[in-house]
Amino acid sequence: MSAGGTAAGADSLLKAYRDFSPTSASLAERAQQVFPGGDTRSSAHYMPYPLVISRAEGCRLTDVDGNELVDFMNNFTSLIHGHAHPGVVRAIQAQAPIGSAYAAPNLKQIELAELLVDRVPSIEQMRFTSSGTEGTLMALRCARAATGRQKVMKMEGGYHGSYEQAEVSLVPMPDKRGSVEAPLSQPVDASFPDSVLADTVICPYNEPVHAKALIDRHADELAAVIVEPVLGSMGMIAATTEFLETLREATHRHGIVLIFDEVITLRLDTGGAQSLHGITPDLTCMGKIIGGGLPIGAVGGRRDLMQLFSPEQENPVMHASTFSGNALTMAAGLAAMQAYGSDETKRLNRLGDRLRAGFNEAFLQSGIRGQAVGAGSLTNLHFTEGPLNNARDSMAGMIDAGRIARLLHIGMLRRGVMSASRLMYCVSTAMSESDVDLAIGALNETLRELRPIIEAERPALLLAAASA
């Protein structure tokens, strides 16, 4: 097929998407007038425009054109029970008439904290925040106050929220990232001051030998090492126990604060990923599922570290935060977490296993290089069949796929399956095996539709037997 033919094929898929969602297209033009780029949240935006949602219930969304979609994004993993869970709705309805935020303690705040302290091994005391971003930020400040050191180590490709240090080397481009033994600190955009880059040591994910060497080399300057047990934004790549154990041993030996960012991974077990690995960090950051669908974050950990926030200390770590621990979120979060016990955790993890197995079979049958990876109820698609251990492996797949990944995303939307545009999928308790099977069927159809474009534009994405 000629280049013009493949362009026409891709154009036809984009036209099909526009025909599928004309009202969203019109509203996207309207949004351009009030939002830069037409959206108010970078992570939720995708080309040519995002669907505009009018309502949601359970695991289903309805857009403004009346299309129904099974929601495998769940507001980027935060809606563990899907949308409008009856118990959460009742909790919000009961709380709203008696006040949403008091700037004072409330009973639900204490009860939700007690539940989390009881479940998560590392947490002896905790504080609520208004977002996961704020939770990781306060954890880093706590570590600096505790150690008197300035620098922080984070993982290459790791995401810990929307502030400069949390986003250093978020997207490790091949021509800028340096060697795997000592990755360079790279800004994600032009807003980064040089001081942030200088104070951030980058560590390759799932490389225990290099991690130990980097920690030993920078130990006298490091206040904290922060890590996601599953590398979220770079494709749901799970950490090995060996890697996390190496971080634990090295940080303990040097008096460095080890922080687990479990904002995403708390869903993997009632005690989070740390329970699955049997590793206890010094501080744990939480968010997403603990808020019942309302904005929330938290930081918790060792009592002596958390006491640095106490207003009764002589010079406490400052943490004000207008909406932290607000009564409405606490009521919703408590209801959500009470409804998410061990049995539901295990059921969701089985659904995640089923989804990945079905997706992998779909790639195999299509003759296209691709795989679904992840952990438990968290899954991501990659256009590669090689090992995926870190952000560099993930980036290689993204570069190889080019626009094919975007075309797959909108193809799945047209078939009633919502995911993150980076091809992240997560399941919720509102889902059943039939919902998972629907997504598997949609991927089979979408890959068949993309096959001619891949043959012409990206033949390297074809399996050897299929291209022979």
Based on the fold, state whether residues 91 and 228 are members of the same structural domain: yes
Based on the fold, state whether residues 204 and 278 are members of the same structural domain: yes
Based on the fold, state whether residues 257 and 202 are members of the same structural domain: yes
CATH code, 276 = 3.40.640.10
Sign (positive or negative) of CA dihedral 380, 385, 387, 392: negative
Strand 151-155 and strand 222-227: the pairing is: parallel
CA distance 101 to 324: 9
Structure token pair of residue 456: 């012409």
The HSE-up count of residue 98 (CA atoms within 13 Å, CB side) is 10
Cα–chain-centroid distance for residue 119? Answer: 21
Q: In this predicted structure, what is the pLDDT of residue 1?
A: 45
CATH code, 54 = 3.90.1150.10
**How many Cβ atoms sit within 10 Å of the Cβ of residue 313?**
11
**Among 318, 338, 358, which residue terminates a domain?**
338
Based on the fold, state whether residues 213 and 132 are members of the same structural domain: yes
CA-angle at 76, arms to 201 and 97, nearest 5°:
115
Based on the fold, state whether residues 90 and 37 are members of the same structural domain: no
CA distance 111 to 354: 35
Cα–chain-centroid distance for residue 86? Answer: 25
354's CB contacts (< 8 A; 6+ apart) are: 433, 436, 437
Q: What are phi and psi of 243, to 5 degrees?
A: -65, -45
**Contacts by 159-163 with C-beta closer than 8 Å and gap 24+?**
159/228, 159/232, 159/233, 159/234, 160/132, 160/133, 160/136, 160/226, 160/228, 160/261, 160/263, 160/285, 161/131, 161/132, 161/133, 161/134, 161/135, 161/136, 161/137, 162/133, 163/133, 163/137
Active site (catalytic) residues: 159, 261, 288
Strand partners, 260: 227, 284
Q: How confident is the model over 188-240, as pLDDT tens digits?
A: 999 999 999 999 999 999 999 999 999 999 999 999 999 999 999 999 999 99
The whole model's pTM is what? 0.96
Based on the fold, state whether residues 120 and 240 are members of the same structural domain: yes
CA distance 70 to 82: 10
Residue 282: domain span = 86-338
Tens-digit pLDDT string for the chain (468 aa): 445 556 668 889 999 999 999 999 999 999 999 999 888 888 889 999 999 999 999 999 999 999 999 999 999 999 999 999 999 999 999 999 999 999 999 999 999 999 999 999 999 999 999 999 999 999 999 999 999 999 999 999 999 999 999 999 999 999 999 899 999 999 999 999 999 999 999 999 999 999 999 999 999 999 999 999 999 999 999 999 999 999 999 999 999 999 999 999 999 999 999 999 999 999 999 999 999 999 999 999 999 999 999 999 889 999 999 999 999 999 999 999 999 999 999 999 999 999 999 999 999 999 999 999 999 999 999 999 989 999 999 999 999 999 999 999 999 999 999 999 999 999 999 999 999 999 999 999 999 999 999 999 999 999 986 555
Is-contact 13 411, C-beta < 8 A?
Answer: yes
C-alpha pair distances (Å), 269 with each of 199, 274, 278, 346 = 33, 9, 12, 8
Structure token pair of residue 119: 């479940």
Structure token pair of residue 433: 């095996």
**In the block, residue with structure tokens 């609520």:** 128
CA-angle at 112, arms to 108 and 117, nearest 5°:
145
3-state secondary structure (DSSP) of residue 307: helix
CA distance 26 to 24: 5
| E strand map for 99-156 | 125-129, 151-155
**How many Cβ atoms sit within 10 Å of the Cβ of residue 350?**
15
Give the chain's largest Cα–Cα span.
73
Based on the fold, state whether residues 318 and 176 are members of the same structural domain: yes
339's CB contacts (< 8 A; 6+ apart) are: 81, 85, 87, 88, 429
**How many Cβ atoms sit within 10 Å of the Cβ of residue 404?**
20
Based on the fold, state whether residues 314 and 400 are members of the same structural domain: no
Structure token pair of residue 360: 């992998």
Structure token pair of residue 425: 């999928």
**Among 311, 338, 365, which residue terminates a domain?**
338
37 secondary structure, DSSP code: G
Single out the residue of 14, 21, 17, 30 nearest to residue 65, CA to CA.
21
**How many Cβ atoms sit within 10 Å of the Cβ of residue 118?**
10
**Among 315, 338, 361, which residue terminates a domain?**
338
C-alpha pair distances (Å), 160 with each of 259, 299, 392 = 11, 13, 18
CA distance 225 to 82: 33
Based on the fold, state whether residues 224 and 121 are members of the same structural domain: yes
Q: In this predicted structure, what is the pLDDT of residue 245?
A: 98
Structure token pair of residue 131: 């977002």
Q: In this predicted structure, what is the pLDDT of residue 465?
A: 65
Domains contained in the chain, number = 2
Based on the fold, state whether residues 375 and 328 are members of the same structural domain: no
Based on the fold, state whether residues 97 and 242 are members of the same structural domain: yes
Based on the fold, state whether residues 240 and 147 are members of the same structural domain: yes
Is-contact 352 377, C-beta < 8 A?
Answer: yes
